[in-house]
């Protein structure tokens, strides 16, 4: 909703390639129509290596 047709940032296999060769986007946040007007920001932390999946942050206003 916020980024239009832009490609999704990768959320899996950025640092750990045991499960495949390329990073992919496979973690998504679904919001109801009622929440769409409250969306302010969505961001993927592509720097942390705390998990094999990257955190996805959603800010509502």
Name beta bridge partners: 59: 41
Strands 56-60 and 39-44: antiparallel
Distance CA 35, CA 1 (A): 11
Q: What angle do CA 24, 26, 32 make, to 5 degrees?
A: 145
Q: Global pTM?
A: 0.83
Integer angstrom CA distances of residue 13 from 17, 31, 36, 40, 57: 5, 25, 29, 27, 18
Question: pLDDT by residue (tens digit) across 19-48?
Answer: 999 999 999 999 999 999 999 999 999 999
Q: Domain ranges in the chain?
A: 1-61
């Amino acid at each position: 909703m916020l980024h239009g047709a832009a490609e999704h940032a990768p959320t899996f296999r950025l640092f750990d390639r045991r499960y495949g060769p390329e990073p992919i986007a496979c973690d998504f946040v679904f919001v109801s129509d009622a929440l769409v007007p409250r969306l302010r920001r969505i961001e993927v932390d592509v720097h942390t290596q705390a998990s094999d999946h990257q955190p996805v942050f959603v800010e509502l206003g």
